[in-house]
Structure 1
Amino acid sequence: MEKVVLTKDVLDFLENLKKNNTREWFDEHKPLFKEKETLIKSFNKAVMEGLNTTDEIEKMKLFRIYRDVRFSKDKTPYKEHFACSFTRAGAKLRGGYYVRIKPRESFIAAGFWEPNKEDLLRVRKELELDADEFRQTINEPSLKKVWGNITGDELKTAPRNFDKEHKDIDLIKKKQFIFVKNVTDKEVISSKFSENTVASFKAIRPFFDLMSDILTTDLNGESLFD
């Protein structure tokens, strides 16, 4: 795995962008932005290379820094962070990874951000039937030490056709299944940030393996791909 170190001037650029979030300032500093973007791309490629030693990444996406302000009250034209997602390959490998770099607000994340309605229903049906393995997996000490508790948006009450008194309704109500780990500026510019990120992502694999198993079988455990 190639080692790519994010330098402090990446954070400095984003800090200055926050103070000067205008097209005039950005156009004037476009070459500097391109320089930092190139470094970010190299870092993300190094993370993907590290992930691919134990996983299979289908797509890496560096999000554009330009904001879509058409339907937003906030008309600042640029995002004040760099962000990238990594999608696992094929229909049998589920879940994704995410990295965001922003001064004092950087984090890495892993999980299921926007499961489609079929996948969400399948997971809810599994939890309704038996959530013991799910709870055991997300509470595994080695995973919890790195990632803490599962998070994500959830409904205020039970989904339609589910019992609001179900003992696992706290999980059934979830619309997302996400783990988030905050990262300090010091950690971002550390020489070990890329390998530490890969190691953290590796720690989430038992959860991904369980979710992939759920989403590729029916409630009887029969494969959907045979």
Structure 2
Amino acid sequence: MFSEKTIEFLKLNKLNNSKEWFNDHKDEYEEYVLLPLKELVYSLTSFMQSVDPLIICDASVNKTISRIYRDIRFSKDKSLYKEEVWVSFRRDKKIYPMYPQYFLVISPYNYTYGCGYFATDNKTMNIIRNLILTDDEKFVYTVNELNKQKIFGLGGEKYKKLQYEDMPETIREWLNYKCICFEKRSNDFSALFSTDFSKKLIEQFADLTALYKFLIYVEERKLMDREKL
């Protein structure tokens, strides 16, 4: 399970920014960072596949688990290692690019978890906005389900200028984001380090099932629109 040593390694690895240091402490990375990430994937596999059998649940780096190395080829920041690690549950991105996902991101300062898009395209957001503005029954159901929980809220980047000012506030909130993601950020590491963290995470992720299925519905609508062309 995750521990203070997980956070300590992420801090020190970023601070040292050295292949030599990382190689000297690779056993610590594998024990305190990689192993807990793999264990989390194993624990969540049954739940994820019950939500969507097409979700990838391979507990491997570059499948559900992030790389610790940064790609610095086109970046001004030449730091060798990431300061945060994550697990991501989504369909095969080669077949289903830019699809919604469940995620947990851990940094030395906090951790964030939720469901939605990290990024998407204009076509996707246009479909979502149309479903919102026409009171689509699947959207209405999703909002009602999300209103039953108190853990997650809309997150991500908003438009600088307020959109759809004449709409009710609860709906306008959806329309003011550049992509849709419900997330929870916490610096209560005691919860992350607890032995029942994966169990609680499943319980909370279950509250986002309607959101995930709504976003899959959006992607299916986008595919249908493309096939009509």
Instruction: Name the TM-score, length of structure 2 as normaliser.
Output: 0.75
Specify the alignment match of 1:8 in structure 2.
Answer: 4
Q: Which residue identity lines up with residue 59 of structure 1 in the other structure?
A: I
Rounded to whole Å, the distance in 2 between the matches of 1:134 and 1:165 is: 20
Aligned identity (percent) is 24
Quick check: 2:3–2:193 contact (8 Å CA) kept in 1?
A: yes
Specify the alignment match of 2:220 in structure 1.
Answer: 216
Rounded to whole Å, the distance in 2 between the matches of 1:8 and 1:18 is: 16
Task: Pick the aligned partner of 1:142 from 141, 145, 148.
Answer: 148
Give the secondary structure class of the aligned counterpart of 1:62. Answer: coil
Q: Which residue identity lines up with residue 98 of structure 1 in the other structure?
A: F
By how many angstroms is 1:57 displaced?
4.8
Superposition map of 1:75-86 within 5 A = 75-86=78-89
Task: Pick the aligned partner of 2:109 from 84, 104, 110.
Answer: 104
Specify the alignment match of 1:73 in structure 2.
Answer: 76
Task: Pick the aligned partner of 1:50 from 47, 50, 64.
Answer: 47
Rounded to whole Å, the distance in 2 between the matches of 1:53 and 1:164 is: 36
Could you say which structure has the greater relative contact order, defined with CA pairs below 8 angstroms and 6 or more residues apart? 1
**Deviation string, structure 1 residues 19-71 (Cα, Å, up to 9, x no partner):** 32222211221232233313322222222233334443522421111112233
Rounded to whole Å, the distance in 1 between the matches of 2:122 and 2:45 is: 28
Of stretches 53-62 and 116-125 in structure 1, the one that deviates more from structure 2 is 53-62
Q: Which residue identity lines up with residue 193 of structure 2 in the other structure?
A: I
Rounded to whole Å, the distance in 2 between the matches of 1:81 and 1:121 is: 32
Superposition map of 1:95-174 within 5 A = 95-130=100-135, 134=139, 137-138=142-143, 140-143=146-149, 145-147=150-152, 149-157=153-161, 167=167, 170-174=173-177
Rounded to whole Å, the distance in 2 between the matches of 1:150 and 1:131 is: 19
Structure 1 portions without partners, runs of 5+: 219-223
Task: Pick the aligned partner of 1:26 from 12, 22, 32.
Answer: 22
Structure whose residues are more often helix by fraction:
2
Of stretches 31-40 and 124-133 in structure 1, the one that deviates more from structure 2 is 124-133
Give the secondary structure class of the aligned counterpart of 1:18. Answer: helix
Rounded to whole Å, the distance in 2 between the matches of 1:88 and 1:146 is: 25
Q: Which residue identity lines up with residue 81 of structure 1 in the other structure?
A: E
Instruction: Name the TM-score, length of structure 1 as normaliser.
Output: 0.76
